[in-house]
Structure 1
Amino acid sequence: MTALTHPLVEQADALIQLDRYDEARTLLGRRLAQDPADVDAWVRLAHCHLTAREFEEALTATGEALALAPETYEAHYIRTYALRRTGRPDEALAEAHETIRLDPQRWKGYAALSEALGAWQPRWPEALEPARTAVRLAPDSASAHYALWKAGLINGRSDVVRQAVADVLRIDPHDAWALNERASQAGWEASDPPLRGAGAKLPAAADAYATALAADPQDSGLRRDLDKAVFRMLRGTRWLAVLCLLMAAVAGRLFPTGDAPTALPAPLGIRLYALALMAAVWGFGAWRRYRKMRSGVRLSLWALVRQFGWARLILAQAAWVTLTAVVIVAVPWSERLVPQVLFWVALVPTLLTAWFERAAMRS
């Protein structure tokens, strides 16, 4: 804005900085009714339209601004994005080059050029260099790094994408978009087939979603993703219980393969050792992890258990299977029939439920 900017335009600009675009548009409409030749008002109105994805209206507003002042930098910049979104890539490219010509030292023109080049798949690799130039000219601008993120994304450059998100968070650790993107990356890694290391990555994904949700509590997509990550973590507790059941079967000698080594009852030392291992499995696999969760993840976990039937069933099965394992190990059985029945009654329904649950989740 110039020193002669009208007070209504200044107020509208302040509202734009607060993302209150509808109020800003009202003020700008009042100003343009007073003076249709106010270039600043047209440019800011175009910005409001662009943010609202009203691309034709943005083109109209920038057209009015450029008719009054053909070398208005911001108007060419906004017009590049509006033309790109209305399927006019050649014109968008020309506007981006004009923006750079007007001021080669400003990063916005290079970000606009990167955006325009993204309209043609064969030219996607070319979008990286102007985006890098934008970052080089404005290393502390989150928007410049966002432009590089987009260029990296369309080119499949995960390294560029990750670095761009990290740089935005360096500039603003509470940036909602960057936190959301980091959470999405963590969630993608945690669900990457064939789930390599998913058990270790899921808590990080849940923590990232909770952090992003704290920055943007109204984002229903983040809430849904957090619930999904927490649900998958809850499903993992059932497999801890199954592991305990298998250890109990071995320690309790439920399935004999010889004479002396499988004689009943199993020695007390072996049974106590098995109980200690079960405690370690739950201690390190669930309780320790739960204690390290941020409060948002813990609240989501208990909300999921209260509201979702599958979550309650998983928790109940994990408790039942673990209790069965403890009974099999703790009791000095002199015959195998009863502990074997307990073993299969605990194991088979759990496996069947897991299979039906997976099918239900896919549908």
Structure 2
Amino acid sequence: MTPHPMVESADALIDVRRYDEAAALLGRRLAEEPDDVRAWTKLARCRLGAKDPEQALDAIDEALRRAPEDVNALYIHAQVLRRADHLDQAERWRKAEASLRAALRVDPGNSPVYASLAQFVLFYPSRRAEALELAREAVRLDPEEVRAYQALWMTAAGASDTETYDWALRQVLRLEPANSQALMLVSGQEAGQPGVTAGRAAEIFADALAVHPDSPGLQRDLDGATYRLLRGMRWLALLCLAAAGAMIDLFPGEGEEVRELPVPLGNRIWVLIVMAAIWGFGAWRRYRRLRAGVRLNVASLVRRGRWARIVLAQAAWTLLCALLITLPPWTAHTVPQALFWAGLLVPLSTLWFDRRMRA
């Protein structure tokens, strides 16, 4: 049966999230024809999109009162119950499963219904194997249905079936390359592989974000990888500090002869060259090899992130202390030792716990 033009127009408005206009249009249609089941179903979708599950439940109940075996109404009923937080969760899940099984009795070959049922059954820890089989059936019935593969990866994760989980995620991206959740999970897998550097992880997330630029999850992951890059700057500064301390022989071993001060100019210039090489190869060259999107995010994160600015300030402070030890011709160890400890303690004060901080 072809839906009424007003219902089709409302459906298009729901797709672009113009819920108030869609609800007004559906209200007019239901005033003309109160038994239009599709209008009631679309109204439930509209109320659900507007985050009003109570009114959505009222609308879908009206649809089911008029057509208890309407597959689409039974399917939407389960989706509404998923978000009806005003009801007990166990009761919601029980009623949702009953609606979906009723839909399958009417239409046993409906892949989306199988996929949805698999996710509801997954709620019960003792039924995870059953949930996985339901998701497999959804894929078998429609190998080109994205929702089937989404259900398969979720149930495979619950059943600890890593091979099926990985395969299902990649099938989602084959069918829907801009799927933000699958992009985030696959990118996280790739970035979390052993040996993947912070720079490479940032590039993986930047590539995924280029496909789906509106994904807050991918942006958080990119920020996290970029923050790891910035945290690495402190180690470069600490290497410079160690080179400066070794040059001036701040902490001679027992029985060793203390190096005479001031350190010759040639030695100090050589240490400056070593510091330049550390930053040239460890920071500048590495930064220039990053993709443009990652470089832009570095600058953006420094503007937005408090801890990103803190770690950069710590690196700058430690490098400054290393330069102050190296450049002047010190005639005593007292001031260089104080500078060394100042440059060391500032980054060490947060080094071991700020990795858990938000960038």
TM-score (norm 1): 0.76
Within 2, Cα distance between the matches of 1:35 and 1:75?
17
The answer to whether the Cα contact below 8 Å between 1:47 and 1:58 also exists between their aligned partners in 2 is: yes
Within 2, Cα distance between the matches of 1:84 and 1:306?
39
Per the alignment, residue 109 of structure 1 pairs with: 113
Instruction: Quote the offset at 1:108 in angstroms.
Output: 1.0
The answer to whether the Cα contact below 8 Å between 1:324 and 1:343 also exists between their aligned partners in 2 is: yes
Per the alignment, residue 145 of structure 2 pairs with: 141
Within 2, Cα distance between the matches of 1:30 and 1:65?
16
- In the TM superposition, 1:17-96 aligns within 5 A as 17-85=15-83, 86=87, 87=89, 88=91, 89-96=93-100
Q: 1:241 aligns with which of 237, 244, 259?
A: 237
Amino acid at match of 2:77: R
Amino acid at match of 1:14: A
Within 2, Cα distance between the matches of 1:115 and 1:267?
72
Within 2, Cα distance between the matches of 1:166 and 1:266?
62
The answer to whether the Cα contact below 8 Å between 1:125 and 1:155 also exists between their aligned partners in 2 is: yes
Per the alignment, residue 102 of structure 2 pairs with: 98
- Structure 1 residues 172 and 84 mapped into 2: Cα distance closer, same or farther (>3 Å)? closer
Instruction: Quote the offset at 1:223 in angstroms.
Output: 5.4
The answer to whether the Cα contact below 8 Å between 1:207 and 1:297 also exists between their aligned partners in 2 is: no
Amino acid at match of 1:39: V
Instruction: Quote the offset at 1:35 in angstroms.
Output: 1.0
20-29 vs 5-14, greater mean Cα deviation: 20-29
Within 2, Cα distance between the matches of 1:97 and 1:113?
8
Aligned length: 350
TM-score (norm 2): 0.76
29-38 vs 318-327, greater mean Cα deviation: 318-327
The answer to whether the Cα contact below 8 Å between 1:81 and 1:116 also exists between their aligned partners in 2 is: no
Identity of aligned residues (%): 44
Q: 1:255 aligns with which of 248, 251, 255?
A: 251
Q: 2:279 aligns with which of 259, 282, 296?
A: 282
The answer to whether the Cα contact below 8 Å between 2:236 and 2:278 also exists between their aligned partners in 1 is: yes
Amino acid at match of 2:112: K
Per the alignment, residue 350 of structure 1 pairs with: 347
Q: Deviations over 1:155-199 (max 9, x none)?
A: 455655554443323322223333444566678x49xxxxx86x8
The answer to whether the Cα contact below 8 Å between 1:244 and 1:278 also exists between their aligned partners in 2 is: yes
Within 1, Cα distance between the matches of 2:120 and 2:170?
24
Per the alignment, residue 174 of structure 1 pairs with: 178
Amino acid at match of 1:174: A
Q: Gaps (5+ residues) in structure 1?
A: 191-195
Instruction: Quote the offset at 1:200 in angstroms.
Output: 1.8
Q: 1:230 aligns with which of 223, 226, 229?
A: 226
- Structure 1 residues 310 and 81 mapped into 2: Cα distance closer, same or farther (>3 Å)? closer
**Partner SS for 1:104:** coil
Within 1, Cα distance between the matches of 2:45 and 2:242?
63
Q: Deviations over 1:57-83 (max 9, x none)?
A: 344333333333333221121223334
Within 2, Cα distance between the matches of 1:56 and 1:318?
54
Instruction: Quote the offset at 1:42 in angstroms.
Output: 2.0
- Structure 1 residues 58 and 163 mapped into 2: Cα distance closer, same or farther (>3 Å)? farther
Instruction: Quote the offset at 1:360 in angstroms.
Output: 11
The answer to whether the Cα contact below 8 Å between 2:119 and 2:131 also exists between their aligned partners in 1 is: yes
The answer to whether the Cα contact below 8 Å between 1:210 and 1:226 also exists between their aligned partners in 2 is: no
Q: 1:151 aligns with which of 152, 155, 158?
A: 155
- Structure 1 residues 361 and 291 mapped into 2: Cα distance closer, same or farther (>3 Å)? same
Instruction: Quote the offset at 1:313 in angstroms.
Output: 4.1
The answer to whether the Cα contact below 8 Å between 1:209 and 1:225 also exists between their aligned partners in 2 is: no
Within 2, Cα distance between the matches of 1:334 and 1:158?
64
Amino acid at match of 1:95: S
Within 1, Cα distance between the matches of 2:110 and 2:273?
65
126-135 vs 241-250, greater mean Cα deviation: 241-250
- Structure 1 residues 167 and 218 mapped into 2: Cα distance closer, same or farther (>3 Å)? closer
Instruction: Quote the offset at 1:241 in angstroms.
Output: 0.9
**Partner SS for 2:197:** helix
Amino acid at match of 1:290: Y
Q: Gaps (5+ residues) in structure 2?
A: none
Amino acid at match of 1:319: A
Per the alignment, residue 322 of structure 2 pairs with: 325
Per the alignment, residue 193 of structure 1 pairs with: none
